[in-house]
Amino acid sequence: MQIGMIGLGRMGGAMVQKICAADIHVVGFDADAQSVDALVNVAGFDGAYSLDSMLNAMPAPRVVWIMLPAGRDTHSILEELRFKLTPGDLVVNGANQLYKTSVLEAETFRECGISLIDAGVAGGVHGEAHGYCIMLGGEAVAVKRIERVLNGLAPAANQWLHCGPSGAGHYAKMIHNGIEYGLMQAYAEGFSLLSAKREFDLDLAAIAENWRHGSVVRSWLLDLTADFLKRDRALDGVAPVVPDSGEGRWAAQEAIELSVPAPVLSAALNSRFVSQGEDEYSAKLLAMMRKGFGGHAVVVTENK
């Protein structure tokens, strides 16, 4: 089997290595030539330095997976692919994109005879080691075509989910990330309270490690928190700035549109809005956890 991968950054590059390890040939393209060069020694990978050269290296019908940031970059590539691909080809959009946009794009591609699958991909920079949680939207026959790729990326065979029609994969990922906002906020506030009880001189790293075993609040987020606190208890190396990448905002808007109460998700989103410039322990911990999942925290170069 062969697949084209567009976007070879931290996540896309890691996915390429897992796909190649599953004995699937990957032709990869990235606008940054260095990202292509970084994978040249991976068995089963061939690099391409333009979109055209990637497509020309793949016999039809082709499967192309996009792992680019949501927004302009993904939209531009999709537009280009719509005119350069041929009927029978298949595209997987792995960007975190508003599901309503995915529904419209799928219809546009369908009119051209091209299948478009929306894929919510969770796991971040740790997915290469542990496997990715993948949520898919689109036609069942199209999802069946990439089953071998999905099994190569998932934690185990068939541990991925076809959620429903076009848009369903990105919708599930949107809600997933909204829940993640709430979990991160709860941990951040809890550890902020522990930090504030100075007369007890609590060892936050030890408490986090204790909670990882047998507690009902154990989770992968807690694992990341415990590991980070062992190295930087005061979080001096993290600025209290927590951006929102869109999914939490979309989830909160969806709650409003459906008249479904979602106070935790909304409050977590608002906490990110107010974190700009606020020197609070909880904001620092939120930034740290986001960094642990492949986001970008702002590193402080000097103490104020």
State residue 300's pLDDT score. 44
Q: Annotated catalytic, 100?
A: no
Nearest to 59 by CA among 93, 89, 84: 89
Of the CA atoms within 13 Å of residue 181, those in its CB half-sphere come to: 29
Domain 173-292 has CATH 1.10.1040.10: yes
| Digit-coded pLDDT (tens) for 213-262 | 999 999 999 998 999 898 877 777 776 677 777 788 888 889 889 989 88
What's the pLDDT tens digit per position in 163-205?
999 999 999 999 999 999 999 999 999 999 999 999 999 999 9
Q: Does 284 qualify as catalytic in the annotation?
A: no
Catalytic residue among 105, 180, 189, 254: 180
pLDDT at residue 70 tops 60: yes
Between CA 302 and CA 250 the distance in angstroms is 35
* Statement: residue 271 has pLDDT above 70: yes
pLDDT over 90 percentage in the chain: 68
Yes or no: say if 182 and 255 are a contact pair by the CB < 8 Å rule: no
pTM over 0.75: yes
Lowest average pLDDT, out of 45-49, 222-226, 288-292, goes to 288-292
Q: Does domain 2-164 have CATH number 3.40.50.620?
A: no
Judged against a pLDDT cut of 70, whether residue 84 lies above it is answered with yes
Q: Choose the catalytic residue: 105, 128, 173, 291.
A: 173
What confidence score (pLDDT) does residue 231 get? 84
**pLDDT, averaged across the chain:** 89
Q: Would you list the domain boundaries of the chain?
A: 2-164, 173-292
